[in-house]
Structure 1
Amino acid sequence: MSMLNDSSIEGESFSSSWKRTRSVVEASSQTKTNNNPTRDKSYQSIKKNSVEVQTEDLFDTYSNLPETVPSGLPEFLARVEPLVTKELRKNITSQAFNGYDVSWAAVHKAVSCVHTLQNVDFQKEQMECTGLSWNCVGSVIAAIYGRHDHEDWCTHKGAFCMWNIDRPHLNPGKPDFVMETPACMTSIAFHPTEPTLIAGGYFNGEVVVWNLGLDEDTQLAASDENSHREPVTQVQWIIDPKSRVIAKYHLVSVSSDGKMLRWQVPVRKQNLKLLDGFMLLGKNNVDVLKMKESEANREVGVTSVSFSPTDKSSFSLGSENGGIFLCSLNDTGTPITGSGIDSELMSLVTTP
């Protein structure tokens, strides 16, 4: 036991043949807060709402069939079914659209020219179309001819032509009806319900009504010495305000002489009967009417007239000086101007 003693031996060291000795250096740094400002901001979530929905029972809403069959329905179906079935079978075997190719991408214009109507014989005479009117059926269009370059009283011949556009062999260059008139025509209007009655006005102030159903002389009536003294600017058919049950039509004409005349059209050939008439006068409005002071109360030419479709006593007038007058007739038949240039309607004649 005495041979075992405590002892310490110094360790041996040797350097690595592949690992180099590392060197360590200590350093410190800091940021500058002057050039990098900071700020705080708070956020929160968006508020939301919840809504509950549910579908409806479509069968109960839209498919609620009646429990009982309506009276007369089986008889009606039994009566019309053979006719409907016959037409459907004809459509199946029809060759009407053979060779027709539908172009869904084609661009269609809103307005297209169907016919260009003209009277070739009038081209050499340099006559102008001064008015147009459709008949109440919509199959016939009437055109009147005259000239606007009058230096004095009219010495020309006018014309009245008609085309029936429903005819299968329509000739656009040749009217179906041509009538020569003693003067240039300035206005025309078919009757609202009678396709054979048509009214017109001349440059010389005369008003005429024709009945195209007559065999020989188609002129039914014409105005007398009470007519206009200047060109007739418009003729219009109006319902008699006193007519109660059956609509009775009168004829109204306006002219450059400032007059508005109402005529009764006879059943047989005779003159038109003047019922009443009015004249549009200026009232010292020199600037607007462009008149001298001494002529301030002279008549104002009327260019157009239009009656209300709902109120038989209301109408409007257009004048040569640009004024539009809203007028109405009272119980005595006297006109009352509502608005427009400072003018008035003066009664010329009133026939009971």
Structure 2
Amino acid sequence: MFADRTAAGADVQSLWRSARSARCEAKTCQTGKISTVEAAAQSHTAQDAAVQTEQSKDAVQDFQQEVQVDYTGLLSFLQRVEDAVIKELNKNWKSHAFDGFEVNWTDQDETVLCLHTLSYPEAQDQNLQVTGVSWNATGSVIACSYGRLDNGDWSTEKSCVCTWNLDRRGLNPQHPDLVVDVPSSVMCLAFHPSQPSLIAGGLFSGELVVWDTSRTEDPVIWRTGMTDDTHTDPVYQVNWLPDTKHRKHARLLSVATDGKILVWREERDGRLALAEGFAIVAQQVPRSTRLKKAAWGEAAVGVTSLSFSHFDADVFVVGVEGGYSLRCSALAQAAALPRPGGSVPLRAPAELAFSPHAGPVYSVSCSPFHRQVPHVGHYQCLALRTDFSNSPWGCVQVPKKGNLALGTSRCSFTTGSGEAACWTMLHVGTRATLAPSLEHPVSYN
């Protein structure tokens, strides 16, 4: 298998004798004189003055003297109140007011207070569910989308988007400032990062709509419509992306369970046109995921969530159905497997597949503080991973129902059904730092 081998030698002829006879000339060059001017500046003259009070000699003498105590008067007071104090102590000893009370010195005080409880009675009458919550750029207006998460069939039931201005006087928690009727269930929504009146929403039908809350008559300003480029499955997430060519404009990114990640640009005629897109196809996913053999092929892998890296704008992590999370690159040039229709060819962005967990991935969020720490919310598990490692370096078990939302700040937040929990990343453990009781999905301002 291995053997010794002798390579042929190479000779280099010396030319130093001929180089000595070569003709050489020496020349010099000098740059022009650089003119310089010096000037000096000095601040105005300043003076300092100090003031100090003098300590009184009488005060020192009074402090050094011993305090005079009237022991006779103190004894008389104690004898006078003794009967009343003993009577109250006996009454407290016989009381059952604190029976069963145990002092827990280890629990921390919760600092989360419920300031407002907002609702829309008409949506409650239709048994609609809150599918998304978003704050506007000023942090004063909150919007929520209504739809259905428990109905897997196609439905034509109408839904709505409601907004409340929490800084407005006379706030009515049961009367939204604006109600936008939508012909299909709204699955997600997101405010524009700089224009407080623009809201983007993804519908159950796969369509994207942008509303302007300052226009009460006809708030719809852009929409994708039902074309060959539109998603064929419900849209689970929408994000606003900065437009590198036009700073005043922004692009929309949508994620759906049809496996497509699409980027849209606005047109003058009120349409959202497809600018570029990606597709997650099972055959082009790295084999480290160990998908079932039946899953390999041209089948689309449903995308449920996406998060961009805060350190590299071209890197993003997606969560897919089946418990997998993939590290992807926006610079990928490999073409995705062709599909019928579509005006823009889609690319395959997957570069690295993380080890799967049981249950679907509900939310993915890249940390703004650690370059290699994306957080992935699984069913009853919060996994902490690095960008280049297949296995997680930490996993927090959530004892109750699965996670529905996830965010990263100084602490990591995840929301489940009826509970929001907070963990500090300095001490990853099974116990949350803060766990207020909630009944609906939340969004952090």
Write the deviation string for residues 286-337 of structure 1: whole angstroms up to 9, x where unpaired. Answer: 98545626x5431100001112234222211111122221222228696643
The aligned residue for residue 179 of structure 1 is 180
Write the deviation string for residues 231-264 of structure 1: whole angstroms up to 9, x where unpaired. Answer: 0000000123x348x3642100000101000000
TM-aligned CA distance change 1:286 to 1:332, over 3 Å? closer
Alignment of 1:238 onto 2:241: yes
TM-score (norm 1): 0.61
> d(CA) in 1 for partners of 2:332 and 2:319?
24
Write the deviation string for residues 254-290 of structure 1: whole angstroms up to 9, x where unpaired. Answer: 0010100000023x44210101111101138698545
CA contact (8 A) 1:205 1:231 kept: yes
Corresponding residue pairs, total: 238
CA contact (8 A) 1:145 1:160 kept: yes
TM-aligned CA distance change 1:319 to 1:331, over 3 Å? closer
CA contact (8 A) 2:159 2:184 kept: yes
TM-aligned CA distance change 1:174 to 1:145, over 3 Å? same
Segments of 5+ residues of structure 1 without an aligned counterpart are 1-65, 71-106, 344-352
RMSD: 2.9
Segments of 5+ residues of structure 2 without an aligned counterpart are 1-42, 48-107, 335-346, 357-445
The aligned residue for residue 229 of structure 1 is 232
CA contact (8 A) 2:332 2:349 kept: no
> d(CA) in 2 for partners of 1:342 and 1:119?
41
The aligned residue for residue 275 of structure 1 is 275
CA contact (8 A) 2:289 2:355 kept: no
Map of 1:160-179 to 2, 5 A cutoff?
A: 160-179=161-180
The aligned residue for residue 425 of structure 2 is none
TM-aligned CA distance change 1:175 to 1:290, over 3 Å? farther
> d(CA) in 2 for partners of 1:340 and 1:331?
15
> d(CA) in 2 for partners of 1:286 and 1:307?
22
CA contact (8 A) 1:239 1:312 kept: no
Q: Give, as a single letter, the amino acid of the residue that structure 1 aligns with 2:271.
A: N
Q: Give, as a single letter, the amino acid of the residue that structure 1 aligns with 2:241.
A: I
> d(CA) in 1 for partners of 2:109 and 2:354?
45
CA contact (8 A) 1:286 1:292 kept: no
SS of the residue corresponding to residue 169 of structure 1 reads coil
Q: Give, as a single letter, the amino acid of the residue that structure 1 aligns with 2:46.
A: V
CA contact (8 A) 1:289 1:321 kept: no
CA contact (8 A) 2:133 2:143 kept: yes
> d(CA) in 1 for partners of 2:145 and 2:308?
23
The aligned residue for residue 265 of structure 1 is 266
The aligned residue for residue 40 of structure 2 is none
CA contact (8 A) 1:282 1:342 kept: no
